[in-house]
Structure 1
Amino acid sequence: MNQPLKILFITQEDPFYVKIFFEEFFTLYPHKENILGVVVCPTMGKKSLKNLVRQMFEFYGPIDFARMVGRYLTIKLTGDGISKVCKKFKVPVYQEKDINEESFINQWKERNIDVIVSIAAPQIFKKRLIDLPSWGCINIHHAKLPDYRGMMPNFWQMYHSEQNAGITVHRINPKIDEGEIILQKEVPIKEKFTLDDLIKYSKKIGAQCIIETLGLIQNNKVNYLPNDNAKSSYFSFPRAADVKEFRRRGKRIL
């Protein structure tokens, strides 16, 4: 497979961080004409708006939540989201509620996709979707798997005072964060980093990791690393008590 890969991205309507990944990726990737599109799913999967707002309020707390609402309104007023980034680089954008629906699979079946890339995709990939591209599907996880599987790995790495945050690119299989590892990197968690800083920084480095991974796939140079279940740790979305302890340890969200 020495020809440039035909790539389809699947992501979510995250107004804050995902666009940083795509800005970096589209700026650096030399084969943009082979990007079939970016599929954008509703934020946080099928969660209702009321539940999403409640979860975000509990996570950020009243002051940081107000700051994030201000950011959100600015982004909405200026249109500065994923779609704007894609338009800038002439990459098609598609809205999709359920990426595992038969209609979605059929829509892309004849497009000869080589690789599907998940960037914070909010839905679990089922077998028919995983089997859709000729090579397979890959995901970027912002921790050094098998450690810190699950939700919000950057939060949990800072919570546990890690010196470095991991970045892993791995194949997708039906189980979350359990696919074979293709590439791993570490980025330093600088002393004055907020969680916001770390997420932004790791999105940029993550884009570079995906470009490197696509080069390995294109040139048939993938050498897998084990993703050992026996050595794994899993974390769910932080509760209000976890955020309180995070702050007690001297960490900041924003």
Structure 2
Amino acid sequence: MMKIIIITQEDAFVVPKNIEKIARLSGIEILKIIDIDSDHSLVNKKSYFVQGFGIAQTMKMGIKIVGAKFLNIVDGLTKQKMNISPRSLKAVSNRYGIGFLRIKDPNNKEFLEEIKSLYPDLIISYSAPVVFKKDLLQIPKFGCINLHCSYLPLYAGVMPSFWTLYRKEKYTGATVHYMDSKIDNGRILNQVRIDIAEDETMFSLILKTKEIGGNLMCKTIKDIQNSNLQEKDNLPEKGSYFTWPTVEQFQEFTKTGGRLI
């Protein structure tokens, strides 16, 4: 039985489904789901998106999120389950009886001691909004792996869904890679190229890349179980790295036809 810990940030749409996919794999036990609630988590950047995309686009996104939360509440209260996918990290943890913890920093000493006591084989990150430091990276037997929603080494860093659309790319990707002390820097374990549609929005591209990436993560877990990894170099000098867009770049994006949702 492979023991896994998942470290991510709150998401109402795809990450809970991706965790559910892992929970249904044979030979897997998810020990804990860790929600990183930091200043860099997307759920804590509401004013940033309002300034960049305007009230109308942000409200439209907010309605989607409220709808997802409503479905979670109804599903939780209904004796006969609605057979819908979980729409929060807490919902998927409740459904599968997985321990849940919300913290600020996974590099905290107290948290590290707790994780060590669980003896995980693998730690999985779904775009966790913090850098994993050496003490955390060394805990699991098979290391820490991350899903990044671009075709690494291209578009490493923050918000690849925005940057690929902003720069009018024709394709992006999903990449599962080993984690090290630098962002999106470790050796590549699996990746797939993903075409960008002409009418793609940031939200639709996030959904697409995260869903495909979730399937890729399941494949990588099976590859680790079967000792069938085909690693390849991740060459940052041949790629590109992006940080948080400015509000002005968001506004420029919308003025040229780009949409959040």
The TM-score with structure 2 as length reference comes to: 0.85
Q: Classify the secondary structure of the residue corresponding to 1:6.
A: strand
Indicate conservation of the 8 Å contact 2:21/2:218, yes or no: no
Q: Classify the secondary structure of the residue corresponding to 1:135.
A: coil
Q: Take 1:186 and 1:11, find their aligned partners in 2: how far apart are those partners?
A: 23
Indicate conservation of the 8 Å contact 2:38/2:104, yes or no: no
Match runs of 1:21-170 below 5 Å: 21-26=18-23, 29-32=25-28, 34-45=29-40, 52-77=45-70, 78-79=72-73, 80-170=87-177
Structure 1, gaps ≥5 residues long: none
Deviation sequence 1:47-66 (CA, Å, 0-9, x none): 995xx332122233211112
The TM-score with structure 1 as length reference comes to: 0.87
Amino acid at match of 1:5: M
Aligned to 1:247: 254
Aligned to 1:8: 5
Amino acid at match of 1:167: A
Against the structure 1 CA distance between its residues 103 and 121, is the aligned structure 2 distance closer, same or farther, given a 3 Å change threshold? Answer: same
Q: Take 2:23 and 2:43, find their aligned partners in 1: how far apart are those partners?
A: 31
Against the structure 1 CA distance between its residues 164 and 48, is the aligned structure 2 distance closer, same or farther, given a 3 Å change threshold? Answer: closer
Amino acid at match of 2:37: P
Aligned to 2:229: 222
Deviates more, 1:94-103 or 1:177-186: 94-103
Structure 2, gaps ≥5 residues long: 74-86
Against the structure 1 CA distance between its residues 238 and 219, is the aligned structure 2 distance closer, same or farther, given a 3 Å change threshold? Answer: same
Against the structure 1 CA distance between its residues 25 and 111, is the aligned structure 2 distance closer, same or farther, given a 3 Å change threshold? Answer: closer
Indicate conservation of the 8 Å contact 1:41/1:96, yes or no: yes
Q: Take 1:104 and 1:166, find their aligned partners in 2: how far apart are those partners?
A: 32
Deviates more, 1:174-183 or 1:241-250: 241-250
Amino acid at match of 1:55: Y
Q: Classify the secondary structure of the residue corresponding to 1:14.
A: coil
Deviates more, 1:124-133 or 1:91-100: 91-100
Match runs of 1:178-197 below 5 Å: 178-197=185-204
Deviation sequence 1:12-53 (CA, Å, 0-9, x none): 1233543343344445x3345x1112111205448995xx33
Against the structure 1 CA distance between its residues 237 and 210, is the aligned structure 2 distance closer, same or farther, given a 3 Å change threshold? Answer: same
Q: Would you say how many aligned residue pairs link Structure 1 and Structure 2?
A: 247
**C-alpha displacement of 1:95:** 1.9
Deviation sequence 1:85-137 (CA, Å, 0-9, x none): 22223332222222111111111212221110011211110100000101100
Q: Classify the secondary structure of the residue corresponding to 1:187.
A: strand
Identity %: 32
Q: Take 1:192 and 1:237, find their aligned partners in 2: how far apart are those partners?
A: 23
**C-alpha displacement of 1:232:** 2.2
Amino acid at match of 1:170: H
Against the structure 1 CA distance between its residues 47 and 230, is the aligned structure 2 distance closer, same or farther, given a 3 Å change threshold? Answer: closer
Q: Classify the secondary structure of the residue corresponding to 2:93.
A: helix
Deviation sequence 1:167-220 (CA, Å, 0-9, x none): 111111001111111111012222322211111122111111111111121222
Q: Take 2:123 and 2:184, find their aligned partners in 1: how far apart are those partners?
A: 16
